[in-house]
Amino acid sequence: MRSRILLLFLLFWSLVLSTANEPLSTGIAVGMAAALTGFLATYQNVLYYFHECCRQEWISYNNTALEIDMKKKLFGQHIASRVIIKAVTGFMNNKNPKKPLVLSLHGWTGTGKNFVSQLLAENIYKEGMASSYVHQFVSTTHFPHPSEINTYKSQLQQWIKGNVTLCPRSMFIFDEMDKMHAGLIDSIKPYMDYYDNLDGISYRQAIFIFLSNAGGENITRVVLDFWSAGRDREEIQLKDLEAALSLEVFNNKRSGFWHTSLIDKNLVDFFVPFLPLEFSHVRKCVLAEMEARDLTPDEEIASQVAKEMTYFPKPENVFSVKGCKTIASKLDYFN
């Protein structure tokens, strides 16, 4: 559809330009201009096909595609996959949500938190992470100096207010919450609360996602207990982790969530644990990376790459220290 409209547009315009400079063809040019005007009137939304805007053509949630992506590309995260799909699907299908969707993803490096954020963006926004309506903040990059916290608060408030004004269905991703200065995130608490609007702006359709390594020790302890008892990690449920996870993050002075009103006022909809990855999961990550590169999956190479990773705790060596984070570079070595 977009290519057809573009072709017609260029055809009309080229005809207008080619005839406009000929005195005897002025009438033709005027006629062509009128035809072009009529064409654009018929397709009054033609520009929306070529420039991203806050409309359904560019923002449309694909539940089926997200489920497929989670199943084929995310490994060892049965809790996160199930909770996130249900939470996002319910929120996106709700025509009148009472508040924005707020998710807090927790776990060690390389377990899939950033990756899931990317999958969500790709299955909601046509442009994915490159969308003008997806905004990512990294604490150590965007908020590095403790002495500037008041400036950061003001800037963050204005950024969120301005972007939600432009598009109510905006997504905000905050990475490295465990490195954020305490108190900063409370400056945007009103935007995640149960308000119809603030100063005439409704934030109810926005999505806020927080990523943090905080809580990783508690998550690992629970998973290791299951492993030691000979129980399948798939038996672990959200209720086994969520309450303790939120409490640990709330009381962690080194976390951006320390004594935050977001937790105190129950504004975080789900604390989502990302479990530490085992050898079998790392192998699947390698095979998935091969497929993404259009390489023929090689089980032997996948095993070799997985064995190159460092595992903990000693002497069990059950979980990958870096999860799947360095898989791409290690696969380069074997190719």
Indicate the average pLDDT of the chain. Answer: 89
pLDDT band at 91 (very low <50, low <70, confident <90, very high): very high
The residue ranges of DSSP E strands in 144-295, in sequence order, are 171-175, 207-212, 270-273
Tens of pLDDT, residues 3-54: 555 555 555 455 544 544 444 455 555 555 565 566 555 555 666 677 899 9
302-323 mean pLDDT: 95
Chain position carrying tokens 């934030």 = 203
With H, G, I as helix, E, B as strand and everything else as coil, classify residue 269. coil
Annotated binding site for ATP: 107-114
pLDDT, residue 33, reads 57
Q: Identify whether the C-beta of residue 289 lies closer than 8 Å to the C-beta of residue 322.
A: no
Tens of pLDDT, residues 269-295: 999 999 999 999 999 999 999 999 999
Q: In this structure, what token pair is assigned to residue 334?
A: 């074997």
pLDDT, residue 21, reads 47
Would you call 50 exposed, middle or buried from its count of C-beta atoms within 10 A (0-12, 13-18, 19+)? exposed
Cα 134 from Cα 51, distance rounded (Å): 16
Q: Identify whether the C-beta of residue 150 lies closer than 8 Å to the C-beta of residue 115.
A: no
Cα 78 from Cα 248, distance rounded (Å): 22
pLDDT, residue 40, reads 56
pLDDT, residue 19, reads 47
Tens of pLDDT, residues 166-187: 999 999 999 999 999 999 999 9
Pick left, alpha or beta for residue 183 (phi over 0 → left; psi -120 to 50 → alpha; otherwise beta).
left
pLDDT, residue 108, reads 95
Annotated binding site: 107-114
Residue 283 CB coordination number (10 Å): 22
